[in-house]
Amino acid sequence: MPEKAAKRQPGSRPSIRDVARKAGVSPGCVSNVINGRRKLDDPIGRAVLEAVNELGYRRNTMASNLRRSQSRIIGLVIPNFENPFFAELVAKLEQRAETTNYRIVATSSREDPETEAREIDELVGWRVAGVFVIPSLSSRALNLVSASETPFVFLDRIPQNAAIDGVGVNNAEACALLMRHLFEAGHSRILVAYLGDGIANVAERLDGVRNAVAEHEQPVTVDYLPTGDSIEGARAALDAYFDHNPKPDAVFCLFNTATLAAYGLLQQRGFVLGKDMALAGFDDSAWMAHVHPPVAAIVQPIEEIAKVAWERLLARIEGDTSAPETIRINCRLEARESLASVETQAG
Amino acid sequence: MPEKAAKRQPGSRPSIRDVARKAGVSPGCVSNVINGRRKLDDPIGRAVLEAVNELGYRRNTMASNLRRSQSRIIGLVIPNFENPFFAELVAKLEQRAETTNYRIVATSSREDPETEAREIDELVGWRVAGVFVIPSLSSRALNLVSASETPFVFLDRIPQNAAIDGVGVNNAEACALLMRHLFEAGHSRILVAYLGDGIANVAERLDGVRNAVAEHEQPVTVDYLPTGDSIEGARAALDAYFDHNPKPDAVFCLFNTATLAAYGLLQQRGFVLGKDMALAGFDDSAWMAHVHPPVAAIVQPIEEIAKVAWERLLARIEGDTSAPETIRINCRLEARESLASVETQAG
DNA sequence: TTTATGTTGTAAATCGTTTTTCGGGAGGAG
DNA sequence: CTCCTCCCGAAAAACGATTTACAACATAAA
């Protein structure tokens, strides 16, 4: 019989028409079956399902999304994947996505504003439902984003006076909390390692430290050491500091690479954490909890950040037009043994 | 003038027709301009470009891909984002992608075969050009993948006798190398911490260790300790071992969480690495290089893995139909101070 | 001037779905 | 028996881009 044979290329996947032909129904009908718009316990439903299995049919998501003009994809632009904080944020957001039948597409900007701009553009091209952005250093994202009608939410590094939703932690308060903790424990000579100027986050942390120092009654000595963002750089800066200054009671690192650098340096110089010297860092890492003695950390509640941010973006996607807001979440202090009191030191 | 007004919804983005209307040309012509199929320094080209800017037009990637039936998207399914090894692999692959004008979509299976299967299915639905998979524990990926005509490449954890390309490291050889190193340094009582049975990777590593032991002339004592995959579990297992056994000369951890657990435990028990005890781990981490003394590691050359894997997948995408192959890349031993010789110990 | 050739933009077909429209048949009420 | 619903599937339109076919026009060659 000269039936018109399937004309699709041997290399390409079967389409809904192939399924329809095989099941002896129309493409629209197949679509209805697949999308559950009809009960499938009748002969037609079964025939369609069988054809689907036999041909190994998989719906073409591009075509589907195009037609319904919606995408259920959420973009996520982060500075890099290697930072455990970002990595965990990706993971938590992905978990949220799954429960809401969305999908996260994560890309990294490698801290490069150019790359970041390209990524955002690309995501908009995909007509994603919304985008989370952790801005790179000296990011231009804010400009791009304000023009767009795609919902955006900034995470972690929230630009100042942005007319865009932002979700992050209360950096200043967390740092003030830790400083007060150090003061109460009797530390009066404290070294604060910070990244450098220009990052909103670290600036906020520094502010928190300064405020706590200003509010403190007793006289204390606090030195501020900019370290750059590489571990090696931080190590060198700390080394130079210790060579030329009296030994502090405590070291507080405002970002995670500095904490590792400081830890290694203090070990090498023979200080015993929690006895000779206190150490604390912003951001927790696996190694900090498991070395001995464990290193105290200001822990960002990543799961909650993800939760709140997700709710915010979803609300926007669903049409919420209220004024943009910046949500700050409080950190938790994980006071581990590296935070010894001066009394303990003396004893 | 009763010109037919734009009929698009206020909420949706401009289409190529809107641009065409504004520039006074046909959609096809706009397409040609945008895709550089005509020189754009003439009045028409300029008019189109201007209309594009004015309307903020961004090409709809879904529609574009649908029409050309190609996607330049590469899927990547990893067990999780928190493991630094996977994170770095994502980063390196993403870098490769950028230079080839592809795009990586990374998702995680959370070590769950169900989730993994869903992710793979979803990627196939997007008609991605190809997919990298780091299989989860007890993965069913192999079955799914063999049926599909989408090119797949397995990374890191390569299933045995798979009819699919795989790129990973030479686990056995690397471990044998380290063991020989320990033997040469005079260690004769060695504890090997391994994850447990069932993971191809760790099994290979264990084989390498066993082979080296078998080939060694002198009598040595090697204990094998399964630790489970959590840090806490590993810590507990190690603790129990040290309670009930004579002190070993060296500890070799076959995967990264165990290395951290062992490091913390040895510190806590007061051993000085590189003097009382040697420690080495499979997989490098930032903390290992920066603590004091630094911890030796078998380093997987992630950049090269990414490079080779990328080439393999691209070749498949471009139609290479040669027999599937498994490519093994050699690791590098980063012999840091934690690897002391017994002579040093004695001195 | 005529014919061949090349250029360039419009119109229409197409990708694989979903959704709307439409028509035919079944079933119930009058 | 007729009329009116109701249901269900086929047919066709639509999503937004690309690509092919084609017509119009210009240019060059004869």
Residue A269, pLDDT > 60, answer: yes
**Residue ranges in chain B modelled with pLDDT below 70:** 1-11, 40, 341-347
pLDDT at residue B5, rounded to an integer: 41
B chain contacts of residue A125, beta-carbon cutoff 8 Å = 58-61
Q: For residue A296, is it within any domain?
A: yes
Answer whether A235 sits within 8 Å of B127, measured CB to CB: no
B25 and B98 belong to one structural domain: no
A338 and A200 belong to one structural domain: yes
In this complex, the residue of A94, A103, A286 whose CB is nearest that of residue B122 is A103
Q: For residue B67, is it within any domain?
A: no
Q: What percent of chain A has pLDDT over 70?
A: 95
Q: For residue A338, is it within any domain?
A: yes
Q: For residue B65, is it within any domain?
A: no
Sheet holding A165-169, edge to edge: A326-329, A165-169, A152-155, A130-133, A73-78, A103-108, B103-108, B73-78, B130-133, B152-155, B165-169, B326-329
The pLDDT-based confidence of A294 (bands split at 50, 70, 90) is: very high
Q: pTM surpassing 0.85? A: yes
Answer whether A235 sits within 8 Å of B13, measured CB to CB: no
Chain D positions with an atom below 7 A of a protein C-beta are 8-12, 14-21
Calculate helix-pair angle for B43-55, B27-34, nearest 10 degrees: 90
pLDDT digits (tens, 9 = 90+) for A121-137: 999 999 999 999 999 98
Q: For residue B320, is it within any domain?
A: yes
Distance in Å from D26's C1' to B35's CA comes to 25
Report the pLDDT averaged over residues A107-113. Answer: 95
B chain contacts of residue A98, beta-carbon cutoff 8 Å = 115
In this complex, the residue of A94, A127, A286 whose CB is nearest that of residue B260 is A286
Distance from CA of B211 to the nearest CA of A (A): 32
Distance in Å from C19's C1' to A20's CA comes to 17
CATH code, domain with B229: 3.40.50.2300
Report the pLDDT averaged over residues A166-174. Answer: 97
pLDDT digits (tens, 9 = 90+) for A150-161: 999 999 999 888
Print the SS3 string covering chain A: CCCCCCCCCCCCCCCHHHHHHHHCCCHHHHHHHHCCCCCCCCHHHHHHHHHHHHHCCCCCHHHHHHHHCCCCEEEEEECCCCCHHHHHHHHHHHHHHHHCCCEEEEEECCCCHHHHHHHHHHHHHCCCCEEEECCCCCCCHHHHHHHCCCCEEEECCCCCCCCCEEEEECHHHHHHHHHHHHHHCCCCEEEEEECCCCCHHHHHHHHHHHHHHHHCCCCCEEEEEECCCCHHHHHHHHHHHHHHCCCCCEEEECCHHHHHHHHHHHHHCCCCECCCEEEEEECCCHHHHHCCCCCEEEECCHHHHHHHHHHHHHHHHCCCCCCCCEEEECCEEECCCCCCCHHHHHC
Q: For residue A228, is it within any domain?
A: yes
**B295, closest residue in chain A (CA to CA):** A264
pLDDT at residue A343, rounded to an integer: 56
pLDDT at residue B10, rounded to an integer: 55
pLDDT at residue A246, rounded to an integer: 96
Residue A249, pLDDT > 70, answer: yes
A91 and A158 belong to one structural domain: yes
Best of A15, A62, A277, A338 to mutate (most B CBs within 10 Å, chain B): A62
Answer whether B127 sits within 8 Å of A291, measured CB to CB: no
A156 and A184 belong to one structural domain: no
CATH code, domain with A27: 1.10.260.40
A34 and A121 belong to one structural domain: no
pLDDT digits (tens, 9 = 90+) for B254-309: 999 999 999 999 999 999 999 989 999 999 999 999 999 999 999 999 999 999 99
Residue B149: give the domain boundaries. Answer: 72-168+302-329
Q: For residue B1, is it within any domain?
A: no
A chain contacts of residue B257, beta-carbon cutoff 8 Å = 286
Distance from CA of B122 to the nearest CA of A (A): 8
Buried b (16+ CB within 10 A) or exposed e, B91-124: bbbbbbbbeeebbbbbbbbbbbeebbbebbebbb
Report whether A155 contacts A133 (CB < 8 A).
Answer: yes
**A67, closest residue in chain B (CA to CA):** B63
Report the pLDDT averaged over residues A312-339. Answer: 95
pLDDT at residue A133, rounded to an integer: 97
pLDDT at residue A345, rounded to an integer: 46
Distance in Å from D18's C1' to B68's CA comes to 7
A13 nearest nt, CA–C1': C16
The rounded mean pLDDT for chain A is 91
Q: What percent of chain B has pLDDT over 90?
A: 81
Tell me the torsion sign for CA atoms B206, B212, B215, B221. negative
The rounded mean pLDDT for chain B is 91
pLDDT at residue A254, rounded to an integer: 96
Domain count across chain A: 3
Report the pLDDT averaged over residues A299-307. Answer: 98
pLDDT at residue A10, rounded to an integer: 56
Residue A307, pLDDT > 90, answer: yes
pLDDT digits (tens, 9 = 90+) for A6-37: 444 556 799 999 999 999 999 999 999 999 88
